[in-house]
Amino acid sequence: MEKTCLIGCTPTQLVELMASLGQKPYRAKQLQEWVWKHRVTSFDAMTNLPPALREQLAAQCSLRPLEVVEVSESTVGTTRKFLSRMQDGHLVESVIIPAAVGQGGVHSSRITLCVSSQVGCAFGCKFCASGLLGLTRNLTTAEIVGQIVAAEEISGTRVDNLVFMGMGEPLANMDNLLPALTIIMDEHSLNIGARHITISTSGNVPGLKKLAAFGRPLRLAVSLHGACDEVRNQIMPVNKKWPLSELIPALQEWTRTSKHKITLEYILIQDVNAMLPEVDKLARIAHLLNAKVNLIPYNTVEGLPWVRPSEAACRFFCKSLIAKGIPVTMRYEKGHDINAACGQLRLRKVQIPPH
Ligand code: SAH
Ligand code: SF4
């Protein structure tokens, strides 16, 4: 029988689990404290639970769903990636991004974590290392949550902000994403506020509707990358399934209930979407959605033909968009690091066998 990983259980599921063992709800509370407050990694450490119960739990449950197998070097204030091996040997990566240097040059201890939601991705965007691999499988709830627990163990600090911008399309894994979000937001579990969580989607319309129905004030980033169907069809097969004529109304619906602006992610790729006529189209969509735009100069992926435009060309595109009254950010270094999260480390290490 496969063991239930406790960091992938919602508070309600912990109560149900304890009830199935004939235990009262206060035992679930105690268990939750061991798992989340004390972050124990063994059942023996749960000293206020009777030994027989600890044994039962150890036989049926686990406490960590993944093992960190590689952490990139750390220098103060820099991004760190880590690679986790799931129990079946598959690998995913996550990226720890420190907050910007604060006033007076003091480094903040706050971190943003970029997590993966799937092993590979079925959406097959033509510029993306994850898309290149195809989908292997969804991450379980415990594996999504496990990346956050691992990041907190590695960094020795709490994750303040969470972005679903690693490998995979989070909205194609709703069954595991929603319970993961419940655990992540629960005040007695990870306690990260909905406003500090950004879900990034390439435009999965049914997923967006389900996420809206979930009813929490999460932040939304949309990987637009093309401001007309012609460009999007060329680089994002998902657009053939849910073209802009479906995506834009779904996003308008989202903005009706969300107080936060949507972020439109727009990778700049030479001769594909970085030409001046695209500025007008992008501005029109941003206006329509009252959204901000994040421009990301394309990160070269080995084996793919796409080219990052010159820095001058990126700056010109950015300036032209600003001139249209759109709030725009373009981050060279940090953006570069964040997007390197998208499957690129795994491509190199994908062959590690399970132990
Ligand atoms: N599947 C979701 C979540 C992954 S987010 C989504 O697509 O939104 C990862 C972000 O990195 C997306 O905006 C993606 O389009 C972008 N990305 C992928 N490959 C990239 C590359 N080579 N250079 C820059 N950004 C890239
Ligand atoms: Fe999947 Fe996002 Fe990469 Fe597209 S950009 S292939 S949706 S991970």
Of 86-100, 278-292, 305-319, the poorest mean pLDDT is in 86-100
Does the pLDDT of residue 335 top 60, yes or no?
no
Q: For the chain, what is the mean pLDDT?
A: 91
Instruction: Please tell me if the CB atom of residue 173 comes closer than 6 angstroms to any atom of ligand 1.
Output: no
Q: How confident is the model at residue 302 (pLDDT cuts 50, 70, 90)?
A: confident
Task: Locate the ligand 2 atom nearest the alpha carbon of residue 167 and give its number.
Answer: 8
Task: Locate the ligand 1 atom nearest the alpha carbon of residue 164 and give its number.
Answer: 3
Alpha-carbon distance of 203 to 268, in angstroms, equals: 18
Minimal-distance CA residue to ligand 1 atom 11: 339
Closest CA to 308 of 281, 335, 329: 335
SS3 string, 145-179, reads HHHHHHHHHHHCCCEEEEEECCCCCHHHCHHHHHH
Closest CA to 166 of 237, 93, 98, 235: 93
Active site residues: 93, 342
Whether the Cβ atoms of residue 200 and residue 247 lie closer than 8 Å to each other: no
Alpha-carbon distance of 291 to 173, in angstroms, equals: 25
Does the pLDDT of residue 221 top 70, yes or no?
yes
Does the pLDDT of residue 334 top 60, yes or no?
no
Q: How confident is the model at residue 102 (pLDDT cuts 50, 70, 90)?
A: low
Beta bridge partners of 328: 293
pLDDT tens by residue, 141-175: 999 999 999 999 999 999 999 999 999 999 999 99
Residue type, 99: A
Does the pLDDT of residue 108 top 80, yes or no?
no
CB atoms within 10 A of CB 113: 25
% of the chain with per-residue pLDDT over 90: 81
Beta bridge partners of 197: 162
- Averaged over 180-194, what is the pLDDT? 98
Q: Which residues line ligand 2 (CB under 6 A)?
A: 121, 123-125, 128, 130-131, 168-169, 202, 223, 342
Q: Which helix (H) or strand (E) holds 125?
A: none
Q: Which helix (H) or strand (E) holds 239?
A: helix 238-241
pLDDT tens by residue, 34-89: 999 999 999 999 999 999 999 999 999 999 999 999 998 767 677 889 999 999 99
Among the bound ligands, name the one nearest to the CA of residue 295: 1
| Amino acid 74: pLDDT | 67
Choose between 83 and 100: higher pLDDT. Answer: 83
Alpha-carbon distance of 117 to 173, in angstroms, equals: 7
β strands within the chain, DSSP E: 4-5, 61-62, 66-71, 80-86, 91-98, 111-114, 118-120, 135-138, 159-164, 197-201, 219-223, 263-268, 292-297, 328-330
pLDDT tens by residue, 238-258: 999 999 999 999 999 999 988
Q: How confident is the model at residue 351 (pLDDT cuts 50, 70, 90)?
A: very low
Instruction: Say whether pTM exceeds 0.95.
Output: no
